[in-house]
Amino acid sequence: MKRFLPQTLPAWVLLIVIAALLMSQVATLYIVARDRAAVADIVDYYRLNDRAYSVVQLLYAATPADRKRMASGVASTSYAMTVSDSPVVTSSIAQNDQLAELEDILVSRLARFGVTEARVRRDEATQPEKPVRKPGSDAGEVEKDLLRLAAGFAESDKLTASIEFSDGQWLNFTEPIIPPGPVLNPESLPLYAIVAGLVVAMSVWSLRRLTAPYRVMETAVRRISNDLKSPPISEAGSREIRAAARAINSMQSRLREYVEDREQLAAALAHDLRTPLTRMRLRLALLRKSKLHDDLARDLSDIEDIARSVIDFATFEVAEEKSERIDFLSLVESVADGFPQVTLDDNGTPSRELICLARPVALRRCVTNLIQNAVTYGQKAHLSLHHSNSQMALLIRDEGPGIPQAKLDAVFSPFVRLEKSRNRETGGLGLGLTIARNIARAAGGEIYLSNHPEGGLQTELRLPLAV
């Protein structure tokens, strides 16, 4: 069920607007239909009351025989009228309060003509005895409307009235009820559709204006995450958009200052460490060859490696290297040639299909770190390249023991080593995967670790193909 629901804020708001529009339209049509029905009832009662007054005024002074003759002369298929000794409306109890009140009004108004009782009944529509004539092809608009209205009267309900004169004779006549017109018809439906379309269009336009700051923030944050030194976004548009752009530019500026401070700190550290390390090497050279001399030399080499790795980790994000189009297959082959324990599967993929956009030196270091990590912990590494319509992937499988499932994400953290010894040859510093993943993410890619079903650790480097 969730997959059918909107997944974004604009879609939710648009869905709510459309639902509210439909509900308001349905409620409006219902109210209009109900009011039209109520008004139509009042008009029908008025017509019956007016006709009863006219007919009674005409017939009350005539003799019983003349009444029957005159009634048959004015009767028609739509307006039946008879004069008889018994009422057509046999029940003296009205069907509802409105008809009962109408009966009282008729008796009160017609009492001056000797009317003593009035009865009104509502009869349901019956099939007309003969079909109503349909308009011909040459009929005008007025004739078509009249024939259509006549057909409606013939098929609508009727009000039947029985009015008693003072001499006991009953006047019976029918009054067709005005046929209710449809609330929606072919003429009005396009208007409703146009209005609804305008409301939806205005809602979409308003939502785009309303959510513009969110789109600006999303685009800017994604761009900043890929390139911290990208130019600031334009602070133009509505007040909300300008405020969002200004906040993002301020955030980017502070981040750059923070990273630059870290870079300067790393550069100062490298400069300050170089001098004492040089002095230590010079003093170490003056010592005689001994076990202590060799141990100090190894410790000094470790200190230099640690300092170099930490400095590289701190400065690689702010390097001034520009992104270029890189032949990824050639890069992987050149790195693999430096490791005799590495084999690269040749799946026949042309190098022109594996072009990515990244910083060359940084990407080489990323691939080198991944391969070196596989060789260090897995003795041998097997490489293969794959690609799809938008991505390419480098798979590196080693022959080592793998990594516990719970620690697959932890090894990406800085200075995390699963090998707990302090041997630099086996334990490392715990920065290789961290640096590699940061480089991959800066190029729009990602690194995934998994234990291969046949044994060993499988590392997957995914990068987007260059457009």
CATH of the domain at 245: 1.10.287.130
State the pLDDT at residue 33. Answer: 78
Whether 294 and 327 share a structural domain: no
Query: Cα 351–354–357 angle (5° rounding)?
Result: 125
Residue 424 contacts by C-beta under 8 Å, 6 or more apart in sequence?
302, 305
Domain boundary among 166, 183, 200: 183
Which of helix, strand or coil describes residue 137? coil
Shared-domain flag, residues 403 and 345: yes
Please indicate whether residue 89 or residue 309 has the higher confidence score (pLDDT): 89
Q: Is residue 201 part of a domain?
A: no
Buried b (16+ CB within 10 A) or exposed e, 322-346: ebeebebbebbeebbeebebbebee
| Count of residues making up the chain | 467
Is residue 192 a part of any domain in this protein? no
Q: Does any domain span residue 213? A: no
CA–CA dist 403, 414 (Å, integer): 17
Q: Are residues 153 and 252 in the same domain?
A: no
Angstrom distance (rounded) from CA 276 to CA 376: 31
Task: Print the domain residue range for 258.
Answer: 219-314
d(CA 208, CA 214): 10
Overall domain count for the chain: 3
Question: How large is the greatest C-alpha to C-alpha distance in the chain, in angstroms?
Answer: 156
Strands 355-358 and 457-464: unpaired
* CATH number of residue 418's parent domain: 3.30.565.10
The pLDDT value recorded for residue 162 is 92
pLDDT digits 0-9 by tens, 201-241: 888 888 777 777 777 777 777 777 766 777 888 887 777 77
Q: For the chain, state the CA radius of gyration.
A: 47
The pLDDT tens digits of the residues spanning 247-276 come to: 888 888 888 888 777 767 766 776 677 778
Residue 199 lies in a domain: no
Please tell me the pTM assigned to this model.
Answer: 0.48
Q: Clarify whether residues 110 and 69 are in a common domain.
A: yes
Which of 183, 205, 230 delimits the end of a domain?
183
Collapsing DSSP to helix, strand or coil, 203 comes out as: helix
Same domain for 26 and 96?
yes
Q: How far is CA 119 from the centre of its chain?
A: 62
pLDDT computed for residue 270 by the predictor: 66
pLDDT value of residue 119: 92
The candidate with the shortest Cα–Cα distance to 394, out of 322, 463, 305, is 463
Is residue 132 in a domain?
yes
3-state secondary structure 285-312: HHCCCCHHHHHHHHHHHHHHHHHHHHHH
Looking at the fold, whether 91 and 154 belong to one and the same domain comes out as yes
pLDDT in tens, 340-379: 888 888 776 676 778 898 888 888 989 998 998 888 888 8
- Residues 349, 454 within the same domain: yes
* pLDDT value, residue 426: 47
User: pLDDT averaged over the chain?
Assistant: 79
Establish if 208 belongs to a structural domain: no
Residue 128 above 90 pLDDT?
no
Contact 387, 354 (CB under 8 A): yes
* 39 domain-assigned: yes
Of 117 and 424, the structure prediction assigns the larger pLDDT to: 117
Report if residue 96 sits inside a domain: yes
pLDDT band at 422 (very low <50, low <70, confident <90, very high): very low
Q: Are residues 224 and 137 in the same domain?
A: no
Record the tokens describing residue 106, joined without a space. Answer: 């008729």
Give the pLDDT confidence score for residue 424 in this predicted structure: 46
